């Protein structure tokens, strides 16, 4: 019987926004099967896939620019070769602005919204006649040999007044524990670190009942053979109860004492106006975490320039950051988003003031971060090696336990001559140098 090999499908991908989007892209690439080959440029590809972010205005602008680049490259390829790669646009921007986008960008061949996630492979296969989707295929990891993201839920059921996510991604929907553990087993066979992501990880399982709880999930993940580090991201303040924190403390390794808690502000008036679903005093959450984990590394994000934010409100936030001493901090100027309650609020803050406040908060955090980094000089720390550094031979980039990929700093590792380190392994190094966000040391 003759076997017909499936022709290769060359795919150029751009995945914008958060790690949750990246997981969607990886799942799609896996579902396109072993015949899927990565392409470095649109011109080399059969398919150019732009997975977009539509969360805030700068993300929308970045997504639109990426789409226009892909369309231009596809058109130029047709002019020079007679063959035009298919341009597919996926993700949150499509869910948010679907019909308007279709009218504005008729050059895009395929639109994939987030409420059709499970259909993406089939839709692409129908558009590219020689593509064959493979049901339940493993993800095609794009994050290298050191780590992978595990997306535990879709959507969000909170109604924060500034946020577009519930309208884009729908209500909170958890994936069952057993499905997640099956996926995680495959991941742990190839990477030493798994990072849990979801819109609100502490709400995990609240919609499913039974054994589908964050405790059951974390217990199962902690027992996976080969897993060295387990990191939890997107922990809502309200969900970090004494009960959950006590449980997490009892897990020990491989769970890292790293807490990513998006607080958004510190002043009770601003938090109330934001419609944030937790006690009005974020200090209580921080104290609770530190009571259970004295060595906790804390990451958070804040919004500055929210409508009605006064100088007094902002000074309160600055004092809170100075006293709390977060390891890592992201600051976003507030952007009014169409359709959100916050967009209709009075007393907008002017753009220059927003940027000045962001810069002031980041300058304060830079000093705090530098002091925290310098406190590690002379210590011995485990470092997960990610890649050889292009800067010079014998230098490698990696992360220690309190550095999450992409959002936190880097640890640079120097090796003796003729020594090489394997990406995806953990080595112990002595820290000899620190700067604002990064560490350096020797094996």
Q: 3.80.30.20, 3.90.1150.10, 3.40.50.300, 1.50.40.10: which CATH number matches 147-374?
A: 3.80.30.20
Per-residue pLDDT of the chain (443 residues; tens, 9 = 90+): 444 456 788 999 999 999 999 999 999 999 988 888 999 999 999 999 999 999 888 999 999 999 999 999 999 999 999 999 999 999 999 999 988 999 999 999 999 999 999 999 999 988 987 777 888 888 999 999 999 999 999 999 998 999 999 989 999 999 999 999 999 999 999 999 999 999 999 999 999 989 999 999 999 999 999 999 999 999 999 999 999 999 999 999 999 999 999 999 999 999 999 998 765 789 999 999 999 999 999 999 999 999 999 999 999 999 999 999 999 999 999 999 988 999 999 999 999 999 999 999 999 999 999 999 999 999 999 999 999 999 888 999 999 999 999 999 999 999 998 889 999 999 999 999 999 999 999 99
| CATH code 3.30.300.180 for 380-442 | no
212 known ligand binder: no
Question: DSSP secondary structure string, 293-329?
Answer: -TT-EEEEEEEES-TT--HHHHHHHHHHHHHH--SEE
Residue 362 marked ligand-binding: no
Residue 18 is labelled as binding a ligand: yes
Q: Fold for 9-127, please state it.
A: Rossmann fold (3.40.50)
Map residue 207 onto helix, strand or coil.
coil
395 is in an annotated binding site: no
Q: What is the mean pLDDT of the chain?
A: 94
**Contact between residue 136 and residue 311 where contact means Cβ atoms under 8 Å apart:** no
pTM: 0.92
Task: Tell whether 149 is in a known binding site.
Answer: no
- Does the annotation list 388 as a binding residue? no
Task: List the domain boundaries for the chain.
Answer: 9-127, 147-374, 380-442
How far apart CA 401 and CA 276 sit, in angstroms, is 29
**How far are the Cα atoms of 269, 311, 432 from residue 265, in angstroms, in the given order?**
10, 13, 35
Closest by CA position to 36, among listed 6, 77, 81, 67: 6
């Amino acid at each position: 019987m003759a076997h017909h090999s499936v022709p290769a499908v060359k795919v150029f991908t751009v995945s914008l926004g958060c790690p949750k989007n990246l997981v969607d892209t990886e799942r799609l690439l896996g579902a396109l099967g072993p015949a899927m080959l990565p392409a470095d440029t649109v011109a080399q590809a059969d398919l150019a896939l732009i997975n977009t972010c539509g969360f805030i205005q700068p993300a929308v602008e970045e997504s639109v620019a990426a789409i226009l680049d892909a369309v231009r490259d596809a058109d130029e390829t047709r002019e020079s070769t007679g063959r035009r790669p298919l341009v597919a646009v996926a993700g949150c921007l499509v869910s948010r602005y679907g019909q308007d986008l279709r009218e504005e960008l008729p050059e895009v061949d395929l639109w994939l919204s987030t409420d059709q996630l499970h259909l993406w492979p089939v839709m692409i296969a129908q558009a590219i006649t020689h593509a064959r989707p493979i049901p339940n295929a493993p993800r095609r990891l794009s994050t290298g040999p050191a780590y992978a993201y595990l997306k535990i839920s879709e959507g969000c059921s909170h109604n924060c007044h500034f946020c577009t996510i519930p309208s884009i991604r729908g209500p909170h929907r958890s994936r069952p524990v057993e499905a997640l553990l099956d996926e995680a087993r495959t991941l742990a066979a190839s990477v030493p670190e798994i990072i849990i992501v979801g819109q609100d990880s502490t709400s995990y399982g609240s919609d499913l009942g039974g054994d589908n709880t964050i405790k059951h999930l974390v217990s199962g993940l902690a027992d996976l053979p080969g897993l060295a580090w387990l990191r939890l991201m997107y922990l809502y303040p309200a969900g970090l109860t004494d009960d959950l924190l006590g449980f997490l403390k009892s897990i020990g390794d491989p769970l890292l004492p790293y807490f990513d808690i998006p607080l958004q502000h510190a002043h009770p008036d601003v938090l109330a106006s934001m419609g944030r679903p937790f006690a009005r005093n974020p200090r209580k959450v921080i104290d609770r975490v530190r009571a259970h984990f004295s060595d906790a590394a804390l990451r958070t994000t804040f919004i500055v320039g929210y409508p009605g934010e006064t100088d007094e409100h902002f000074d309160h936030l600055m004092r809170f950051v100075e006293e709390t001493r977060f390891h890592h901090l992201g600051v976003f100027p507030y952007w009014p988003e169409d359709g959100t309650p916050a967009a209709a609020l009075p007393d907008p803050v002017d753009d220059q003031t927003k940027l000045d406040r962001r810069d002031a908060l980041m300058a304060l955090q830079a000093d705090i971060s530098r002091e925290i980094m310098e406190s590690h000089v002379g210590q011995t720390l485990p470092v997960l090696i990610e890649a050889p550094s292009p800067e010079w031979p014998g230098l490698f980039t990696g992360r220690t336990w309190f550095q999450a990929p992409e959002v936190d700093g880097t640890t640079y590792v120097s090796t003796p001559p003729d020594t090489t380190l394997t990406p995806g392994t953990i080595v112990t190094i002595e820290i000899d140098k620190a700067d604002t966000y990064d560490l350096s040391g020797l094996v």
